[in-house]
């Protein structure tokens, strides 16, 4: 089944323009599916029945896989069989009547505006690395960036005069994101005072160079620092998307419309953005309770 999986991934790369990370996830999903089928004595897609897919789903649950990860694997399987039929390599789709798994939507971790302000003030900006950290944190919060988007930024993506950032998101989709005056202030200081020292004299297109001036700072290194800053500030445990979640929530609480937040976040589907409205409703309930005479 491996050649068919490879052909499907090539199709996704060419036709859908999916990122390397997404393709790697699909590959892992389908290869684990193929291994399970092989254990059932099945080596060809034409031998697969819907009962086999249901058995695989049960196997995932028995293995303790989270509902979200299991859902993604089912999406990969459905797409794979749909491709085989569409390309004429198979006549029947055994996954046709298997719907997506329901996943409970947990509310994301969010810091309050005052907590975020406290966190942003933690780096020692008298040091080059501290100035870099402050600029990275300010930009992540100001633009609602994913960590991968932040680390992938180059000097050419930055337009300090216009106050805009060109961001490359999932599926290589690009968007223009405005930066506020605070983020621009710290970014300008970083570019002038710290970045020349951190590049170690090397030519490096990345906005935030890594160790020795090579490549870009790693995701792990960045988040180890952020978690330490949160501990130093006495804040709750934060996660890679905390800045992004806080960005979206604070915009909605300030009166921004959902469509604008969707564009700023780079969500292809507004349904993805709607999870933040739950948080805003909680905020409205708190406001009502605090200020309404019958609250």
pLDDT, tens only, 187-204: 999 999 999 999 988 899
Above 80 in pLDDT, residue 282? no
If you ran DSSP here, which 8-state letter would residue 211 be given?
G
Q: CB count, 10 Å around CB of 181?
A: 9
Rounded (5°) CA angle 124-127-130: 50
- Measured distance CA(80)–CA(220) in Å, rounded: 32
- Output the average pLDDT for the chain: 87
**Catalytic annotation, residues:** 146, 170, 241, 244, 267, 276
Q: Which fold has domain 2-86?
A: DNA polymerase; domain 1 (1.10.150)
276 or 133: which leads in pLDDT: 133
Run of H or E residues at 202 = none
Please report, to the nearest 10 degrees, the dihedral formed by the alpha carbons of residues 57, 60, 62, 64 taken in order: -140
Work out the pLDDT band at 294, boundaries 50, 70, 90. low
Q: Is the pTM of this model over 0.85?
A: no
pLDDT, tens only, 65-105: 877 788 888 899 999 999 999 999 999 999 888 876 665 55
Contacts of 62 (CB under 8 A, 6+ apart): none
Residue 54, φ and ψ in degrees, nearest 5: -60, -40
Q: How far is CA 262 from CA 28, 198, 233, 268, in A?
A: 29, 34, 31, 8
- Measured distance CA(207)–CA(229) in Å, rounded: 22
Q: How far is CA 51 from CA 57, 69, 78, 267, in A?
A: 10, 20, 14, 34
Question: Which residues on neighbouring strands pair with residue 174, listed in sequence order?
Answer: 168
3-class secondary-structure state, position 95: coil
Residue 44 CB burial class (10 angstroms; 0-12, 13-18, ≥19): exposed
- What's the average model confidence in pLDDT over 247-263? 87
Q: Which CATH number fits domain 113-289: 3.30.450.20, 3.40.50.2000, 2.30.40.10, 1.10.443.10?
A: 1.10.443.10
Q: How far is CA 47 from CA 37, 43, 85, 90, 262, in A?
A: 10, 8, 14, 10, 42
- What is the pLDDT, as a whole number, of residue 288? 58
Instruction: Give counts: helices (H), strands (E), the chain.
Output: 14, 3
Where in the chain are the domains? 2-86, 113-289
- What is the pLDDT, as a whole number, of residue 141? 94
- What's the average model confidence in pLDDT over 123-149? 95
């Amino acid at each position: 089944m491996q050649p068919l999986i490879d052909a499907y991934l090539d199709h996704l790369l060419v036709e859908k323009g999916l990122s390397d990370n997404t393709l790697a996830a699909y590959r892992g999903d389908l290869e684990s599916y193929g291994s399970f089928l092989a254990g059932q004595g099945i080596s060809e897609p034409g031998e697969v029945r819907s009962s086999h897919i249901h058995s695989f789903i049960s196997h995932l649950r028995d293995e303790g896989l989270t509902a979200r990860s299991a859902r993604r694997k089912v999406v990969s399987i459905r797409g794979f069989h749909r491709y085989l039929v569409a390309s004429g390599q198979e006549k029947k789709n055994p996954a046709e009547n298997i719907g997506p798994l329901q996943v409970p939507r947990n509310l994301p971790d969010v810091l309050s505006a005052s907590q975020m302000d406290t966190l942003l003030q933690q780096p020692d900006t008298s040091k080059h690395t501290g100035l870099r950290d402050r600029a990275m944190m300010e930009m992540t919060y100001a633009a609602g960036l994913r960590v991968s988007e932040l680390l992938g930024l180059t000097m050419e993506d930055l337009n300090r005069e216009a106050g805009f950032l060109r961001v490359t998101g999932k599926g290589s989709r690009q968007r223009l994101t405005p930066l506020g005056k605070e983020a621009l202030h710290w970014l300008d200081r970083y570019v002038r005072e710290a970045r020349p020292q951190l590049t170690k004299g090397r030519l490096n297109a990345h906005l935030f160079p890594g160790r020795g001036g090579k490549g870009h700072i790693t995701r792990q290194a960045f988040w180890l620092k952020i978690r330490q800053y949160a501990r130093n500030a006495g804040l709750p445990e934060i996660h890679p998307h905390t800045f992004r979640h806080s960005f979206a929530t604070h915009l909605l609480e300030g009166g921004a419309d959902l469509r604008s937040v969707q564009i700023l976040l780079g969500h292809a589907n507004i349904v993805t953005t709607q999870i933040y409205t739950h948080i805003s409703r909680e905020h409205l309930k708190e406001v009502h309770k605090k200020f309404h005479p019958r609250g």
